[in-house]
Amino acid sequence: MAQPDTVTRILDTAEVLFAERGFAETSLRTITSKAKVNLAAVNYHFGSKKSLIQAVFARYLDPFTERFHRALDELEHAYGGKVIPLEVLLETMARTVLEVPAERNSLKVFMKLLGLAYSQAQGHLRRYIQEEYGSVFTRFTELVRQATPELPDHERFWRLHFMLGTVIFTLSGLDALRDIAEKDYGEHVTVRDLIRRLRPVVVSAMQAPLPEPALQAGQA
């Protein structure tokens, strides 16, 4: 649709700045000057700042959803109608998340962007992501449902979001946490390290005992 050079430079610069400072806090002038590109280039190639933001996400989410669908295809074929264990499903998702930005070593950026999509974007972004990429998530949750038949539907819904929060929060705040961890435990933590640590936690969390039933209304 355009010379790859300018467009790519804008995207590369924008995703880093967005991840570092958020959307509203990153001006087009900051992006274009750092990318050594004319200010008008953003509006020319993307139309608006909103569309730039969506394009930044699309560059991660398009390959992700494609790979994830493929991975789930293979999994369903391999298990031939039998239930896919929860660990395998989680493992597959983790692997796919790791694969996509691996080429550019931008997993951290990817995670920060996902975090921002939840916490910042009030309107257009969340809607865009939901409409554009909601189907993979639906497919995944259905497989999780089959893998955890003992969980009531709404309990599983919430637990999945609990774990989504765990992962996104941790990986998107990684830099700040890493500094503390490094200072206190003298250990440099990689993303792969964290995912290794996350796995047993997530699995145990999903298999936690059911909560005690809610108390009826009327208590302070």
User: What tokens does 63 get?
Assistant: 């390959």
Residue 27 interface partner, choices a second copy, DNA, none, CB cut-off 5-8 Å depending on type: DNA
Binding mask 10-49 for DNA (x = CB under 7 A): ----------------xxxxx------xxxxxxxxx--xx
Q: Which of residues 201-220 bind a second copy (CB under 8 A)?
A: 201-205, 207-212, 214
* Pick 33 or 190: Cβ nearer a second copy: 190
For CA atoms 200, 205, 207, 209, the dihedral sign is positive
- By CB under 7 A, residue 92 contacts DNA: no
**What burial class does residue 177 get, using C-beta atoms within 10 Å of its C-beta: 0-12 exposed, 13-18 middle, 19+ buried?**
middle
User: Minimal distance in Å, beta carbon 76 to a second copy?
Assistant: 23
Three-state DSSP at 150 gives coil
User: Minimal distance in Å, beta carbon 201 to DNA?
Assistant: 38
**What burial class does residue 24 get, using C-beta atoms within 10 Å of its C-beta: 0-12 exposed, 13-18 middle, 19+ buried?**
exposed
Place of tokens 């992501």: 129
User: Minimal distance in Å, beta carbon 28 to DNA?
Assistant: 4
Q: Which of residues 146-175 bind a second copy (CB under 8 A)?
A: 153-155, 157-159, 161-170, 172-173
Place of tokens 């931008």: 106
Q: Which amino acid is at 176?
A: A
Q: Which residues in this chain contact DNA in the complex, by CB under 7 A?
A: 1-3, 5-6, 26-30, 37-45, 48-50
